[in-house]
Structure 1
């Protein structure tokens, strides 16, 4: 029983740290995905339709 009392605080702090890091990495991953989507949309908007006629060359 003494071992549980000695190890429990370290295990609890370790679990809290693990959940915090997992949440940070998930937030970063979703932020990167949103940034990639926004960048792709901006690139498509800036590309626009191809110009036509002799002035296009």
Structure 2
């Protein structure tokens, strides 16, 4: 019985350490799996974006308009700001 009393604290601490390490490794494994899934999803989105960009390039090469694209004739009408008046200050502002 003397040996059990001496070894029992070490066995308990060893078991606690084992359970702690097991939970750490399981958490790490779950995190790596979640990260791999997120990376695969991001790669899939990136590949889909690349495919649509490639399709747009091919449409430009073939002179096919893309849906929602602005033609050259319409592009001239799109102005963010009206043209600047470069004639100088107006006569009204001199008064």
Output the TM-score relative to the length of structure 1: 0.88
Return 5+ residue gaps in structure 1 as ranges: none
Between the aligned partners of 1:6 and 1:48, the Cα distance in structure 2 is 64
The corresponding residue for 1:21 is: 21
Q: What's the RMSD between the two structures over aligned residues?
A: 1.4
- Return 45-54 or 14-23, whichever deviates more: 45-54
Structure (1/2) with the larger helix percentage: 1
Number of aligned residue pairs: 55
> Unpaired segments of 5 or more residues in structure 2?
63-95
Stretches of 4+ aligned residues off by more than 4 angstroms: none
- Normalised by the length of structure 2, the TM-score is 0.54
